[in-house]
Amino acid sequence: MLTKNKIVILLFGCGSLLAASCTKKLNTNIDDPNGKSSVVLTGKDFFAGALVEDINNIGGVNLYNAADNYDYANQWMQYWARNNGWASSGAQQLVEDFSPNNNFSDGVWGSLYHNIYDFNFVIANSSKGSILPGASRVMRVMLFQDLVDQFGNIPYSEAEQPAVTLTPKYDDAAAIYKDLALQLDTALTDIAASQSTPDDASDVMFGGAKTLWEQFANTVKLRVLLRQVPNGDQTYVASEIAKIVQQGSGFLTVDALVQPGFNNLPTKQNPFYNDYGPGSQNYNSFCANQVMINFLDSINDPRVSYYYAPSPAGPLGGEPLGNNTFNLASNTSPLGPSLLKSPSQPGIIMLAAQSLLMQAEAVQRGLMTGDAAALYQQGVEASFSFLGVTNAVAAADSYMSGSTNGLVNFTSSTNKLQTILYQKWISECAIDGLEAYCDYRRTGYPFIAVPSQGAPGMPIPQRLLYPETEYTQNGANVNTQNQTLADLTTPIFWAKP
Amino acid sequence: MRKLLLLLSIWLGGLLVANAQTREVTGKITDNTGTPVPYATVQIKGTKVTSVADADGNYRIRAAAGDVLVFTSSGIASKEATVQSGGSGLNIVVTRVSQNLSEVVVTTALGIRRQARELGYATTQIKTAELNQAAVVNPATGLAAKVAGVDIRLADNGVNPQVKVTFRGSRSIEGNNAALIVVDGIPVDQQYLANINPNEIEDITILKGSNAAALYGMSASNGVMLITTKKGKGKFSLTYQNVVSAEHISYFPSLQNEYSGFGGEGGSTTNPATGGTIYFVDPLSGLANTVPFENESFGAPYSSLDFQNGQIPIGVDQNGKWYFTPFKAVPNGRKDFFVTGVGDQNELSGGFSTKWGGLFFSGDHTSKQGIIPYDTYQRNGGRFNGNATWGKLSVQIGGSYYNVSTNIAGNSYYQYRPVYYLVVDQLASTDLKSIKDISKFQNNQGFVNAYAPNPWWNIFNSRSKSSQDQLLSHVTLSYKINDWLTITGRTGYSRTMENAPSYIDSITFPSWLLGPSGGGLWNNGGLANFPGNNPGIQREVVKAHYDDWNTDAYFTATRTFGKFKFNLIAGGNYRARTSWGDWYSNQVYYENVVGANFIPSYPSKTLHSDGTADAVFSYKRYDQSAYGDLSIGYDNWLFLHGSYRNDWTSILAPKNRSFSYPSVDLSAVLSDKLGFLQNSSTISFLKVRLGYANTGNVSLDNYQRMGVMGNIGAGTQNAGTYNGGYTYLLPTFGAYAIYPIAGTIPGFPFGNNNGYSQSGTLVQNGLKPEKTGAVEVGAQLGLLKNRINLEVNYYDQQSTNQTIPLQASTATGITSYLTNAGKINNYGVEIDLSLNPVFKTRDFRFDLSGNFAYQNSKVISIEGGSVELDQINFGQIQLGGIYAEAGKSYPQIKVTDFQRDPQGHIIVGASSGLPTLNPNPIDAGSGNFRYFLGLSPSFGYKGLTLKAVFDYRGGAKILNEEGNVMDFTGIYTGDAANRQAFIVPGSVIQTSPGHYVPNTNVPISSVAGLPTSLFWWANYYNQAGMPYVTSADFWKLREVALSYAVPIRIFGKQNVLKQLDVSLIGRNLFMWRPKTNNLTDPEFSTNGLGNAVGYTTEFQTPPTRVFSASIRANIF
């Protein structure tokens, strides 16, 4: 029989052994073999991805979730439409009916806020002196502007702080806009103070070039300010534009393109090309908008055959938006060769054409000194160049000078603002539908004849409705906005009343 | 840990010092078959000197020669024996009698057997006969409606259905609420229930509350189901059982048979037979007539026109010859797709025992066909249990191996829909049986529907297979250090391996099917929705592997001091779990062509340049614990019991990984003590008890979904998108959960550039375990010599520090915040009543037992730290969500609804006559049943027995999303009404804010060219969830079994056949539901084993009933 002592020793011995061997095992939690946690990553691991995330917001198109990006704006701005290769349903039907509902907005809202969340991570977790935090601040302003431009009042001051509140309150859109300008000032200070660091490698847009980031920040600021013209506080806008000029780096003169190394491997393609290129369902299901083709033809604009490819039957052809008796797919044009250059084409954040035409508008409105005609000309030339029109600059010049149409020829135009905005609309075709949609709501250009089709006979909406997820997850705050279906026609604060 | 063990050692040491007795009589108590009788009480007649035998019937008592020993125990006739002067051994053979309530012995935690009268908490034991009376395949289904407080919920009706077992409702909002399953002392995954042959089970003990289960540590707050498998007993004997069964659809939705196909698309096409033109739109009125390839049934009545001389072209054969189907409704054309599922169970078991030990073995072969043609299920395996005793050492060793394989129809090539969805989603003119032979068609599918492909294509060309091997083995060693102290070590190992390959064949369409761009037949629609490019065969293989090592070592000490009896258990546990999985797909197709919905977003995914992809997963978790459990009995009528346990787990951060919890309870057998009860002729037994227990639970247990092509739980994760199925759930045990993995933006990494994106989940720094405190009060009453037995329990559990992924406004940048928040209160009453017998004559006997339970889980609050929420949506569904909301029962179904005036009338537009949706989801009731009633009458006449089980559940609501789909397509009988413009019944029109007048003259308006019915059903009515919520209450006749014990004497004089039983059995014979709920079985849950109960979809096949016949023979 065991004695008392032996039992105690046995117990104690077993216990010690067990305790020693287990403490080590108990510490296995952090070594996750299935992936990396943010705990072990830094800003440079996120920045390039966050830029591409933004490309997805702007350009990516998904057949099943038309609201996950700005696809709807491209359709409302008459850039493209659906052909009969695809029976309309769900989100696409809502786009055509001009009646996006609460569910419609879930995707775009969530992905923009998540994109900002990633840029915030870069701001908080980058190496000292890196340009990435400053650059991320610029990107963050762009994304918040996109949110306000689509929804009006949004969570801002309490947003993006999940450990503080899960239910952020809504802030006034005009006040957010004011803060965006201040945020860009901070961004410019940060960029100016930055040095070249190894982090620059993950800047797949400007390769860490400080001047380019400063110019881009100024251009984004111009966009924020111009949005408030002519319907906002004009004194404020003028003084802020003066500050940009004073800063001295000027505006973007090159295209802001993201190129992490897209290539033609199926998983590594440019996301827009991947979603829209030959072989995708979208390629066969969406087509040129007939309104846009007719318009470009009417002003003899050669870009029509760069934006759209020949239909399978030969000639260019399109569909009006929301048409219930479809043209055959064989007679409609898919997106063209300049939009779908190759799987390795870079992603577009902003074109130089947009920067130049915004400057032209600012000068034309007397908000800045300069030569509006020259800026206009350079803007159109930049658009031709981006599209790769043969002898782009010469072709653009002869297009403008050879036209008697006031929407093309700036000199002979009697409404120069209209000319600038129509050309801006053309230059953003299937590239930046949201910017065109904003200009349309702000200035009324271009005049778009609303198709007679569409179920409830709605006009083009002035905004998107708050997403369903806000009603389920942030009900008390979203309900302070008292939004109803009728608010689809309520303008954003900067829009034309 | 060391400190605690030291303390325990000292504690034990203290007990050892107590003085021992000197002169002893020892022996073994067995019954007349040689089986030991455990825990018998031995008393010296005329004195108060008593002793209790051990689990193996060995007893010791100090006595003098000439003393008379009295042996009493549960289920034996008491026996007396006189101590002789020479020798100390005195073996006793007793006779078994039917059990008396005061002497029942039950299995408790760690497999330790105790007299039920000592226990301060509720336990229920189900014996093999009762469990298997309806010849179930999955043992859990045999428990349904038999025990109060035990909720057995069948998630679906597939060949290998998921069964959710919960005791006493829900305590955890998002964590696991399922009872812990323990087989022969080894904890196993709930899925193991499907891999066990119910005939191998000796008994199941239900420990409903956490007092009973505190010794099992984490998850014990959900109660424990202790399964004890059979052991060899007595002389060698063999049992053979065969069950054949037939399963049919019992309830099918009622479909309309009047209206033909139309969904808005129109146009014309060439009639392949005549060369003439078929107009889908009436050229005169411009209104739609019929489009025979639609899935929406908003066309002209079949009776109203003669479509192409009554012929619909449905396909071409290899030689270009056309097939037609008549243009008329085929009333059962869809239901008759389903077949009778034939099942066959064969089981052989045997065993014996001798004085040194025993052996039991069994083998099982079960095969089953599903109601979906060619769906099959097979289970093959066996078990052995051996036990032996050499002096002070006893050994138990057991093992089982099972292979369960299923081969079921997969999803369609387009939109990944399951078979049932495609069966229902057809027009009334479709006769599915007639297009079964798909090989005769040129496109190998027999084209009847542009949106819902022929389900036969799935049957023949899309398969999901799975083969699961499960091994469970355990060894228990016990050493009796002395007559009152035993040390026991037990280790169990289980391994599960699954191999699940699926494929969806390539499909090539002839050009005529591909719509007009291919020069095809159908002007619109056609296969317009199908990507023109042939995706090629899609293959996926999921391999998974799951290991669980569980080791316990503990001391048990039993001592009696005068009137006091002490039982002490002290020990430790170590558990190591690992899982590993590999997913392979031959197609990156999902990623690029079909749409982002189908991308499995596995961070560890590797995409290969040849277009294939694979991902590996690996999880590890370690837990250890130390525990002590002491019960003190006074005079065998008053019992005080307490336990204490400390757990350490690897899945929490170091500072929070150690936590402890106590339990305490008190019970008194008043009928043995109170004079007026002792003498009562009415009350034979009365016991009352009271307990409190606290348990900790780390609610991070989760499963990694692996694969996208499987059909398991399809539709649960992404309602609203087409896919959502998964192939396998790999247990993660909550490992690594506190550091969520960052996502990757598609395409990254590029060179050295990473493209991470933060996880949508943020985890609170310093996450703690959940705590459940439970109070339980109970009483047990035996009346009229225990002919009437009544047991009543009341419990009240409060869980705090819930671990909840709170859904955040996406404006926070994240979608969920995993934090300690929320309080849930769970309370209920359980009543078990049995009348044995109600009525009895020499040949006839009528017994009745019944149980009733009320249970309610109420969310007290959802708050914690900075979080101020009053509700969370933890089960996003298409028309709303499953919520936990402060002040409401859990879980709460909340759905969208139309805007209504304060009186509940639907508000319609003043000119459109159409309602608008309210974006705020509305309360629709709780998805958990609150009232449970089970009734089990039993009639016996000579050798004939008839047993039945009735089951009522009430107090719950259910959202049938299938109704929504059926309204969208207009196939439901209700959709046959309202084919013309009408005034929404009971609607009102707003005249000024807050003022409404009844709508008497504004009918619903539609868009030009669309029939009103289509516009209403498909675009308006089905946008709201409320119309699809109904009561989930039901009555079921779950089991009916008619058995006959064949009199052996008819076989003459022989010594081989000992027993022969034949039975006829019916399961789920009838279901009674409210009229409004006519779609499917309200017990089903699309969420499978998850907490988000309260909705079903067309992803569950219809309810079935099963008829079986069984024969059971016992030889030698």
Residue B1007 at interface with chain A, using a CB cutoff of 8 Å: yes
Q: What's the average model confidence in pLDDT over A16-20?
A: 52
pLDDT band at A19 (very low <50, low <70, confident <90, very high): low
Residues from chain A that touch B812, judged by Cβ atoms under 8 A, are: 113, 117, 159-162, 165-166, 168
Compute the mean pLDDT over every residue in chain A, rounded to the nearest whole number: 88
pLDDT band at B710 (very low <50, low <70, confident <90, very high): low
Lowest mean per-residue pLDDT among A136-140, A435-439, A477-481, B582-586: B582-586
Contact B233, B204 (CB under 8 A): no
What is the DSSP secondary structure assignment for residue B238, as one 8-state letter? E
In this model, does residue B573 exceed pLDDT 60? yes
Supply the pLDDT for residue B753: 92
Supply the pLDDT for residue A59: 54
Nearest-neighbour CA in chain A from B589: distance (Å): 9
Query: Which residue from B572, B622, B811 is facing A168, i.e. has the nearest CB?
Result: B811
Q: Do A49 and B748 touch (CB under 8 A)?
A: yes
ipTM value for the complex: 0.91
Q: Which residue of A has its CA nearest to B745?
A: A49
Q: What's the average model confidence in pLDDT over B62-81?
A: 79
Per residue in B727-782, pLDDT tens? 788 888 899 999 999 988 888 889 989 999 999 999 998 899 988 899 999 999 98
Q: Do A162 and B814 touch (CB under 8 A)?
A: yes
In this model, does residue B376 exceed pLDDT 80? yes
Look up tokens 């029939």; give the residue: B1011
Strands B25-31, B1029-1031: pairing kind: unpaired
Q: What's the average model confidence in pLDDT over A77-90?
A: 73
Strands B917-926, B907-908: pairing kind: unpaired
- Probe site for chain B from A6, A10, A11 (most B CB atoms < 10 A): A11
Q: Do A267 and B607 touch (CB under 8 A)?
A: yes
Residues from chain A that touch B919, judged by Cβ atoms under 8 A, are: 102, 465, 468, 471
In this model, does residue B366 exceed pLDDT 70? yes
Q: Which residue has the higher pLDDT, B13 or B997?
A: B997
Whole-angstrom distance, CA of residue A436 vs CA of residue A66: 18
Q: What's the average model confidence in pLDDT over B283-291?
A: 56
pLDDT band at A101 (very low <50, low <70, confident <90, very high): confident
In this model, does residue B1104 exceed pLDDT 50? yes
Q: What's the average model confidence in pLDDT over B922-940?
A: 93
Interface of B with A in 548-567 (CB under 8 A): 553
In this model, does residue B692 exceed pLDDT 70? yes
Supply the pLDDT for residue B34: 66
How are strands ordered across the β-sheet holding B871-877? Answer: B871-877, B880-885, B892-898, B917-926
Q: Do A34 and B572 touch (CB under 8 A)?
A: no
Residue B746 at interface with chain A, using a CB cutoff of 8 Å: yes
Q: Which residue of B has its CA nearest to A204?
A: B753
Q: How many CB atoms lie within 10 A of CB B50?
A: 16
Task: List the beta bridge partners of residue B240.
Answer: B348, B1113
User: Tokens for B359?
Assistant: 């052996």
pLDDT band at B722 (very low <50, low <70, confident <90, very high): very low
Per residue in B992-1021, pLDDT tens? 888 999 999 888 876 655 667 777 777 778
Supply the pLDDT for residue B303: 80
Nearest-neighbour CA in chain A from B604: distance (Å): 5
Whole-angstrom distance, CA of residue B23 vs CA of residue B33: 30
Per residue in A341-379, pLDDT tens? 999 999 999 999 999 999 999 999 999 999 999 999 999
Look up tokens 């005249």; give the residue: B991
Nearest-neighbour CA in chain B from A445: distance (Å): 30
In this model, does residue B597 exceed pLDDT 80? no
Per residue in B75-103, pLDDT tens? 677 788 888 776 667 777 777 655 555 56
pLDDT band at B524 (very low <50, low <70, confident <90, very high): very low
Q: Which residue has the higher pLDDT, A306 or B673?
A: A306
Look up tokens 């989930």; give the residue: B1032
Residue B656 at interface with chain A, using a CB cutoff of 8 Å: no
Which residue from B444, B531, B512, B447 is spatially nearest to B269, judged by alpha carbons?
Answer: B512
pLDDT band at B244 (very low <50, low <70, confident <90, very high): very high
Interface of B with A in 481-500 (CB under 8 A): 481-482
Supply the pLDDT for residue B517: 41
Residues from chain A that touch B657, judged by Cβ atoms under 8 A, are: 26
Per residue in B1038-1047, pLDDT tens? 999 999 999 8
Q: What's the average model confidence in pLDDT over A438-465?
A: 79
Whole-angstrom distance, CA of residue B664 vs CA of residue B671: 23
What are the angstrom distances between the C-alpha of A114 and each of A53, A149, A434, B743, B914?
Answer: 9, 17, 19, 12, 37
Q: What's the average model confidence in pLDDT over B467-483?
A: 93
Burial class for B312, CB neighbours closer than 10 Å (0-12, 13-18, 19+): buried
Supply the pLDDT for residue B412: 79
Q: Do A11 and B5 touch (CB under 8 A)?
A: yes
Whole-angstrom distance, CA of residue B1082 vs CA of residue B959: 9
Residue B620 at interface with chain A, using a CB cutoff of 8 Å: yes
Supply the pLDDT for residue B321: 79
Supply the pLDDT for residue A260: 96
Query: Which residue from B481, B744, B758 is facing A117, i.e. has the nearest CB?
Result: B758
- Probe site for chain A from B655, B703, B741, B745 (most A CB atoms < 10 A): B745
Contact B792, B831 (CB under 8 A): yes
Q: Residue type for B430, please? A: T
pLDDT band at B1091 (very low <50, low <70, confident <90, very high): confident
- Probe site for chain A from B809, B876, B908, B1006 (most A CB atoms < 10 A): B809
Residue B747 at interface with chain A, using a CB cutoff of 8 Å: yes
- Sequential DSSP letters for B875-936: EEETTEEEEEETTSBSSEEEEEEE-B-TTSPBEE-TTT--B-EEEEEEEEEESS--EEEEEE
Task: List the beta bridge partners of residue B925.
Answer: B893
Supply the pLDDT for residue B326: 86
Share of chain B above pLDDT 90, in %: 36
Q: Do B515 and A85 touch (CB under 8 A)?
A: yes
Per residue in B1019-1072, pLDDT tens? 778 888 898 999 999 999 999 999 999 988 888 888 888 889 999 999 999 999
Query: Which residue from A41, A164, A166 is facing B756, i.e. has the nearest CB?
Result: A41
pLDDT band at B1085 (very low <50, low <70, confident <90, very high): confident
Supply the pLDDT for residue B19: 36
Supply the pLDDT for residue A405: 94
Q: Do A473 and B807 touch (CB under 8 A)?
A: yes
Q: Which residue has the higher pLDDT, A417 or B356?
A: A417
Contact B663, B108 (CB under 8 A): no
Compute the mean pLDDT over every residue in chain B, rounded to the nearest whole number: 83
In this model, does residue B646 exceed pLDDT 50? yes
Interface of B with A in 1011-1050 (CB under 8 A): 1019
